[in-house]
Structure 1
Amino acid sequence: MNILFSVFLSALDVFLESAPFMLFGFFMAGLLKAFVPSTIVHEQLGKNRTSNVVKAALFGIPLPLCSCGVIPAAAGLRRQGASKGATASFLISTPETGVDSIMITYALLDPIMTILRPLAAFVTAVATGIGINLFDKDTTPAPAPPLKPFGEIRPPAWKRFLNGQRFAFNDVLGDVGGSFMIGIVIAGVITVFLSPDLVTTYLGMGVLPMLVMVVVAAPLYVCATASTPIVAALALKGISPGAALVFLLAGPATNAASIAMVAKLLGKRSAALYLASIITVAILFGLGADALYRSLGLDPLSWLAQTTEHGHGILNIIAGTVLFILLVHTLITKIRSGHDCRGGCCSHQH
């Protein structure tokens, strides 16, 4: 019982630390949904152009879609005429980052990783998209863009705002909430059971621990938000920022379900390029991250301990209470609606 209580306290510590940033991230997700027309995405990503690959990566970075939610969105882009490269770019940048995961990265890790994570996701997405356009060129002509309904009237701003917030705190929270809580529990288990000596001995510096992170992350069905508390717990035990970044990049984008869907959507050659590009760029960025932390005078084996302050005020407690109530509400809603959810991601499409 003492061990279980210790795990609970460790998990609660991570949950309270991240709660205010999670709520703000979902709020921003609602604003994006309300005021960024989806037609812009569909109209800008056709043809085998580098500019379209870059646009797709930029579109994907702030969107709060997890690794399963991005598949139907990407399939929709593909059907609307997006090139293979642009579709792959969107598939990578979207689940690897998002306003919610960026905020929780700042809460649980540090400002440097908060910048490196979306930057690495952007570079990975662009490199993969360009590689696919070069070596698996799309020869299928893009279909004509869908016609907009004549005389369509957009709802007023206040109504779009409310609809956007409902989407964020119902649909998006429902998609990532289960995975996030699993990640919180895993972080608690790591904090209690994993020895720092074991981590620094076998998962210290260099390419080897990064390859281990790839092997561990590849089969996991974990979203960007859920992977962050796991990495935070590992970092406090001594994992380097480079290995942490590799896990954050590889985990959300390389699970078995995503790779299978990429092969079906873009073809086997594109799927191979997709996987190879993610692993290669993630390791290169991991090595660069370790070098950056060393150049800033931070020990790569105790980087998080040097940059993170602990302690929870009234804001954390209030935000944690609100977030917990919202999570329970989404769980009850899912049970009542009978949706089939796996790994925190619903099978319904948005």
Structure 2
Amino acid sequence: MTQRATDDWLSEDDRLPPDSWGRRKSAGPRLPWAIILLITALVAGRFLLTPHLTAPALRTWATIFVAVCLQALPFLVFGVVLSAAITAFVPPSFWTKALPRQPYAAVPIAGAAGAVLPGCECASVPVASGLMSRGVAPAAALAFLLASPAINPVVLVATAVAFPGNPAMVVARFVASLTVAVLAGWAWARFGRPEWLRVRTHTAAPGQSKWGSFVEAMRHDLLHAGGFLVVGGLTAATLNVMVPRSWLTSVGELPVLSVLVLGLLAVLLSICSEADAFVAASMTAFSPTAKLAFLVVGPMVDLKLIALQAGTFGRAFAWRFVPLTFTLAIAVSFAAGWVLL
């Protein structure tokens, strides 16, 4: 039998190398030593570093960081669980039946659906891609992509807790975010071109149950969102302690500059929408409108979303949709802050 005939006869699995190839041997005996070294380092640090960690500024920094993370963590976990449940258990056919086929009519309905169906930023991109692959108009899927992580019940409740006694901030966030989602969807329906958008067909892993998909989605989103929450808490605490209050006050007194600064900061921090309200509330030197811009921009435009959108829909899409969304978010935040705050 020739080599070519042999290759044709072999299945795809037969051509794969054994599972043991390229893998390191288990480092079992070294694991206890690593744990012992870690415990030793922690104990030594407790006695050697404690005298140097009692400065008032450092204690303030630690207090702000812990407060931001502890307040946001329950909402983050709840939002991730709900998002994973929707991803795993809601059939995609539900969306094609619930939304009108006419894009301009489907966009506001898809945007409003984000108010009742929680989803984090990490999950919104693959969900939107799945909707497009099943026949939903791209403009409607994009409106849902922007609205779901911004105006769902978990995010609104978290905003109310972060801004106690200030229901206007919750209303302003809902109105501004939904407005941006609808306007962006309509803009894509009017000016978007099919060649700018790459739509892929998503298939579930072979043999994976719905519960397996649920657990996998929850674990993935929790690890990613939790890491970004820690980064956001660290940054918020550092801004409050390290940056001179006079600098923040001078920026906060400039309406246009303060809104742009917090909008760009939301892009860089990439905080999960279930937790960003607590970070925004800790930035006391900025105006309510600037904080609103932080809350509107973050769930719609940040670094991880840009990467996800470029990888899922293509760079041609990201280069056009990201600037459009950011510009609309800043403009609508100005208008909503002026009217509602």
Given the two structures, how large is their TM-score scaled by the length of structure 1? Answer: 0.64
Alpha-carbon deviation of 1:282? 3.1
Could you say which residue in structure 1 is the equivalent of 2:292? 245
Aligned partner of 1:112 in structure 2 is 168
Q: Could you tell me which of 179, 188, 192 is aligned with 2:237?
A: 188
- Alignment partner of 1:229 out of 241, 264, 278: 278
Amino acid at match of 1:9: T
The alignment partner of 1:225 has SS state of coil
Q: Distance in 2 between matches of 1:212 and 1:198?
A: 12
CA RMSD of aligned residues (A): 3.7
| 2:324 corresponds to 1:276 | yes
Give how far 1:197 is off.
2.7
Quick check: 1:61–1:98 contact (8 Å CA) kept in 2?
Answer: yes
Please say if 1:96 is aligned against 2:150: yes
1:79 to 122, 133, 154: 133
Equivalent position to 2:246, from 185, 197, 202: 197
Cα offset, 1:172, TM superposition = 4.5
Whether the aligned pair in 2 keeps the contact of 1:7 and 1:189 (CA below 8 Å) is yes
Deviations 1:28-57 (A, max 9, x none): 657767885543224344744222111221
State the match for 1:217 in structure 2.
266
CA separation in 1, counterparts of 2:257 and 2:119? 30
User: Is the contact made by 1:74 and 1:90 (CA closer than 8 Å) also made in structure 2?
Assistant: yes
Alpha-carbon distance change, 210 to 15 in structure 1, aligned in 2, over 3 angstroms? same
Provide the TM-score with structure 2 as the length reference.
0.66
Deviations 1:166-188 (A, max 9, x none): 68965543442222232223222
Structure 2, unpaired ranges of 5+: 1-52, 203-208
1:83 positional shift: 1.5
Q: CA deviation at 1:136?
A: 1.9
Cα gap change, 1:194/1:228 in structure 2, threshold over 3 Å: closer, same or farther? Answer: farther
Distance in 1 (CA, whole Å) between partners of 2:239 and 2:152 is 25
The one-letter code of the counterpart of 2:140 is: A
Distance 1:26 1:269 in 2: 27
Q: Deviations over 1:168-216 (max 9, x none)?
A: 9655434422222322232222332334332221132422222223333
Give the number of aligned pairs: 275
Q: Which amino acid aligns with 1:228?
A: A
Q: What CA distance in whole angstroms lies between the structure 2 residues aligned with 1:271 and 1:46?
A: 28
Deviates more, 1:50-59 or 1:39-48: 39-48
Q: 3-state SS of the aligned residue for 1:68?
A: helix
Amino acid of the residue matched to residue 215 of structure 1?
A: L
Q: Report matched runs for 1:1-350 at 5 Å.
A: 1=53, 2=55, 3-18=57-72, 21=75, 37-45=91-99, 47-109=101-163, 110-136=166-192, 170=219, 172-234=221-283, 236=284, 238-259=285-306, 261-262=308-309, 265=313, 268=316, 271-273=319-321, 275-293=323-341
Deviation (angstroms), 1:139:
9.4
**Aligned 8 A contact 1:241 1:286 in 2:** no
Paired with 2:321 and 2:108, the residues of 1 have a C-alpha distance of 17
Contact map agreement 1:84 1:137 (CA 8 A) in 2: no
Does the Cα contact within 8 Å between 2:228 and 2:271 map onto a contact in 1?
yes
Q: Is the 8 A contact 1:210 1:243 kept in 2?
A: yes
Return the alpha-carbon distance in structure 1 between the equivalents of residues 304 and 80 of structure 2. 25
Structure (1 or 2) with the larger CA radius of gyration: 2
Which one-letter code corresponds to 1:76 in the other structure?
G
Shift of 1:77: 1.1
